Structure 1
Amino acid sequence: MTDSRRAILRDGFLSSLRRSPVLMGILNVTPDSFSDGGRHFEAAAAVARARTMVAEGAAIVDVGGESTRPGHTSVTEDEELRRIVPVLEALRREIDAPISVDTSKAAVAREAARLGASVINDVWGFRRDPGMADAVADTASAVIVMHNRESADPAIDILDDVERAFERSLAIAARAGVAFNRILLDPGVGFGKTPEQNHVCIWNLDRFRAFGCPILVGLSRKSFIGRIVGDQRLMGTLAADMIALLRGASVLRIHDVIENRVALDIFKTLSASARAALGEPRPDARANVALALGGNVGDKAGTLRRALRALGGEPGIELTAVSCLYRTAPWGKTDQDWFVNACALARTDLAPEALLDRVKALEVELGRKPGERWGPRVIDIDIIAYDDVVLTSGRLTLPHPELFNRAFVLVPLAEIAPERLIAGRRVGEAAASLRAEASDVVTLD
């Protein structure tokens, strides 16, 4: 598989998540996985199963060479590669669908990408192998960042624990240069959690959507379902998966593809009809907006991350991409502290001035107080562009009139939208034209 073909499959998978939820088929090439260990251990059986899953409706196949079930026995890097390499070599010839590899080893991730895998599924979210984030960035892979714990602790606030772990993982990703719009988040149901904590995570999936990343869940046939319905784990899985979809999941990681595809088809048809009946806009009918964020008071990076999460949690706003955080020199009034800046892309059904009202209210909630025009500020959120709208009012000008003079906006915006045209200019080209100013805009360590 060529690098271009791998990128096409990666981007096609990521793009599909913006339209509707999808299925990820589980392909364990292990002798000891909890549900299907040994069944597809041989390469020929694994390839046949992958082919069947794609035919039944899986949008992506997740290949695992090391069991992660409770009490599993760890395997060496060489053994994991021995199991998955023949399968990956065959899959890139046999199926025309993206492949994910379930691994926490950076060396395995690199080899999997070389063999055509588009997605790395890391159950330790960059926090087990210190080279994993670099491996994902260097291979331009998409990545699933999962929450995990060594053991369950019933005394903790599990939602807070998951959120703090995601924040750490996303910070690691940003430092390594992993593209934000290639990250999926998985709350890790069944990993280091009590049964009750698993329930809480599923029911509150919408809380994690505030990070601005698609949410993946793997509930298929897990023991917490067996505790509720006994040996009827398939029916329990279907019920739990539909609840996960209602709570905001974008990807269901499953064993039983055709059964989940039928349930998913019902879900998509009913939800589309309900939106139409209520007059809600189709997702692709919403406006595409670009936002710039900056601040230079207090915990600068922390405030920007809180602002991005707040934006992602706002009704009527869906974040679709977020740049890295950048350290930038002050602009306008130069005798003040350095800034942290970032840009975000979003879809919204809010009108321009209604969106302005929302972001200004968020600034106040995050601690911004009135001050001089170019003076220090806790947070500043500007609307840079709103579709192709041209607007001049007493409160808002679109596109932002200073956009093409500000490297601290153009550089992060070019990271996530280099081909976007604003006022007839391509963002990436405009950023390149500000070479001198751009030298003062550096990725935050």
Structure 2
Amino acid sequence: MTIDRRAVARDQFLAALRQSPQLMGILNVTPDSFSDGGRHFEPAVAVARAKAMVAEGAAIVDVGGESTRPGHSSISAEEELRRVAPVLEALAQGFDAPVSIDTGKAAVAREAARLGASVINDVWGLQRDPGMADAVADTGSAVVAMHNRERADGTIDILDDVERFFERSLNLAAGAGVPFGRILLDPGVGFGKTPDQNHSCVWNLDRFRRFGAPVLVGLSRKSFIGRITGAALDNRLPGTLAADTIALMRGASVLRVHDVAENRAALDIFKTLSAAAKPSARLEDDGRARIVLALGGNVGDKALSLRRALRAIAGEPGIELTAVSRLYRTAPWGKTDQDWFVNACALGRTRLAPVALLERMKALEVDLGRVSTERWGPRVIDIDLVAYDDISLRSEKLTLPHPELFNRAFVLVPLAEIAPDLIIAGVRVGDAAASLSSEAAEVMLLD
């Protein structure tokens, strides 16, 4: 597979999961993986299984040459490549679906990318092999950064530990130049966690969506399912389907599975029912206001500053973020003799009053390093309250909707990405963005 074909396959996968949840088929070419070790060790058998999984509904096939089951024995990069290289070479011929490489070794990741893998699935989240982040960046790959621990510790707050781990992974990726839009996060269920911690990660999966990256989960046939149901390894499909469906309801974008056809059926039912179950405005009214926030900055590590701001907002009491756009590179507005900006939009819900919410956002700006400068001048972070339900407000502190909203493509383009049908002041966001077509053309995806 050429570099161009790799890029096409990578972007095909990323685009698909932004539209709806997808399946990643597990293809272990190992003699000792916990569930299917030895079944696909021969290259011809592995290739046949890869093709079958795509036919059954997998959007991507994840090839692994080293078992990561509890108590596994480590192998050399040379041995790992000896297992996966023939499979990757065969898949590069007439296999159009994206392929990922499940490895914690930068050398294996680089060679797998050369052989056609467009996604690197690192069970140590770029934090074990110091060359992994550079390998991802240099090969133009997408990456799955999975949380892991050397051993379980039941005394820690596992959700906090996962979040801090993801922060480090994202920092490593940003430092290597990996575009944010090519990063997926995996809380690592079954890796360095107690049973209760595994349960917590699944049920609180929506918490990790606040990073703004798609969330992948691998629950298929895992031991926590056996502990709950009492089922032996080969009888864990019903439990897996139940757990995967809960993960979808909690915000998973990718399910990593062994049993593709069965999970495809469950996924199709989930997608159909969820699409038909959009709540009415009356049912959605729980006393919280719908809010629209616009974020931007052009000082320092711009993308990292926006991601930190989004996480800070999501962590604020009384505020729930419900959707976050991708990051966009934009030209300066108002005062044009300064560096380019990174912008994003977020939707949320809150019971805070408009002015109280504004004051909370301004306090966050200061906490995140903003220093007052000239109007429209350089800033580490700017958080604007763009709209608050259908309220029309004009005061010394705040005007709602934001008076410049419909003039700013750098707000409308990311907002239209996540809420094209949203009506603000009688105007549909998607239509407003389209009306600024020439300005919108200059708002470029950062990733």
Shorter-chain TM band: 0.7 to 0.9
Deviation sequence 1:6-41 (CA, Å, 0-9, x none)? 111111110111111011000000000000000000
Q: Deviations over 1:387-420 (max 9, x none)?
A: xxxxx987435444999xxxxxxxxxxxxxxxx9
Matched-pair contact (CA < 8 Å) for 1:30–1:37 = yes
| Alignment pair present for 1:267 and 2:270 | yes
- Whole-Å separation in 1 of the counterparts to 2:346 and 2:410: 22
Q: For residues 247 and 382 of structure 1, what CA distance do their matches in structure 2 show?
A: 28
Task: Say if 1:66 and 1:274 are closer, same or farther in 2 by CA, change over 3 A.
Answer: same
Matched-pair contact (CA < 8 Å) for 1:190–1:198: yes
Whether 1:292 aligns to 2:296 is yes
Percent identity between matched residues is: 62
- Where 1:93 maps in the other structure, the secondary structure is coil
Q: How does 1:40-189 map to 2 (within 5 A)?
A: 40-189=40-189
TM-score (norm 2): 0.76
Which residue is equivalent to 1:308?
310
Partners of 1:95 and 1:349 lie apart in 2 by 41
Counterparts of 1:34-433 in structure 2 under 5 Å? 34-231=34-231, 232-275=235-278, 291-293=295-297, 304-310=306-312, 315=320, 318-322=323-327, 343-346=342-345, 361-367=360-366, 373-374=374-375, 379-381=381-383, 395-400=403-408, 423=439, 426-427=442-443
How far is 1:96 from its partner?
1.6
CA distance in 2, matches of 1:160, 1:402: 33
Rounded Cα–Cα distance in structure 2 between residues aligned with 1:292 and 1:135: 29
Distance 2:336 2:328 in 1: 23
12 and 302 in structure 1: CA distance in 2 versus 1, 3 angstrom threshold: closer
Verify the 8 A CA contact 2:212 2:307 in the aligned structure 1. no
Distance 1:366 1:172 in 2: 24
Consecutive unaligned residues in structure 2, runs of 5 or more: 285-291, 387-399, 412-435
SS of 2:323 mapped into structure 1? strand
Q: Take 2:194 and 2:341, find their aligned partners in 1: how far apart are those partners?
A: 37
- State the secondary structure of the residue aligned to 2:93: helix
Deviation at 1:347, TM superposition (A): 6.7
Opposite residue 307 of structure 1, the aligned amino acid is A
Structure 1 residue 363: deviation in Å? 3.1
Contact 2:296 2:306 in 1 (8 A): no
State whether residues 294 and 345 of structure 2, in contact with CA within 8 Å, keep that contact through their aligned partners in structure 1.
Answer: yes
Taking the aligned partners of 2:58 and 2:134, their CA distance within structure 1 comes to: 29
Distance of aligned partners of 1:88 and 1:248 in 2 relative to their CA distance in 1, 3 Å threshold: same
Cα 1:302–1:89 change in 2 (3 A) is closer
| 2:246 partner letter | I
Cα RMSD over matched residues? 4.0
Which residue does the alignment assign to 1:412? none
What secondary structure is seen at the aligned counterpart in 2 of 1:37? Answer: coil
- 2:326 match: secondary structure: strand
Three-state SS of the structure 1 residue aligned to 2:120 is strand
- Work out the CA distance in 2 between the residues paired with 1:425 and 1:357: 35
Contact 1:213 1:320 in 2 (8 A): no
> What is the CA distance between 1:291 and its match in structure 2?
3.9
3-state DSSP of counterpart to 1:321: coil
Task: State how far apart, in whole Å, the 2-side matches of 1:355 and 1:12 are.
Answer: 40
Q: Structure 2 vs 1, CA of residues 67 and 304 (structure 1 numbering), >3 Å: closer, same or farther?
A: same
Q: Residue 389 of structure 2 corresponds to which residue in structure 1?
A: none
Cα distance change, pair 364–247 in 1 and its aligned pair in 2 (3 A): same
Partner letter of residue 74 of structure 2? S
Distance in 2 of aligned mates of 1:242 and 1:20: 14
**Which residue identity does 1:423 align to in structure 2?**
E
State the shift of 1:343 in Å: 1.8
The offset of 1:226, in angstroms, is 0.5
Change (3 A) 1:227 1:343: same
SS of alignment partner, residue 66 of structure 1: coil
Kindly state the Cα deviation for residue 323 of structure 1 after the two structures are TM-superposed: 7.0
1:425-444, aligned counterparts within 5 Å? Answer: 426-427=442-443
In structure 1, the partner of 2:415 is: none
Is the alpha carbon distance of 1:242 and 1:35 closer, same or farther for their aligned partners in structure 2, counting shifts above 3 Å? same
State the distance in 2 between where 1:63 and 1:131 align.
20
d(CA) in 2 for partners of 1:355, 1:81:
57
Q: Read off the aligned partner of 2:205 and give its amino acid letter.
A: L
Deviation of the 1:93 alpha carbon: 1.3
Deviation at 1:193, TM superposition (A): 0.2
Distance in 1, Cα, partners of 2:385 & 2:98: 35
TM-score w.r.t. structure 1 length?
0.76
Instruction: Judge conservation of contact 1:210–1:310 (CA < 8 Å) in 2.
Output: no
Per-residue deviation, residues 17-74 of structure 1 (Å, max 9, x unmatched):
1111011000000000000000000000100111110000011000000000000011
- Could you tell me how far 1:107 is from its partner in structure 2? 1.0
* AA partner of residue 254 (structure 1): V
Q: Is the 8 A contact 2:210 2:321 kept in 1?
A: no
The amino acid across from 2:237 in the alignment is L
Cα distance change of structure 1 residues 74 and 289 upon mapping to structure 2, 3 Å threshold = same
The Cα shift of 1:275 comes to 1.4
SS at match of 2:92: helix
Larger mean CA deviation between 27-36 and 104-113 belongs to 104-113
The change in CA–CA distance for 1:151 and 1:295 in structure 2 (over 3 A counts) is same
CA distance in 2, matches of 1:147, 1:373: 42
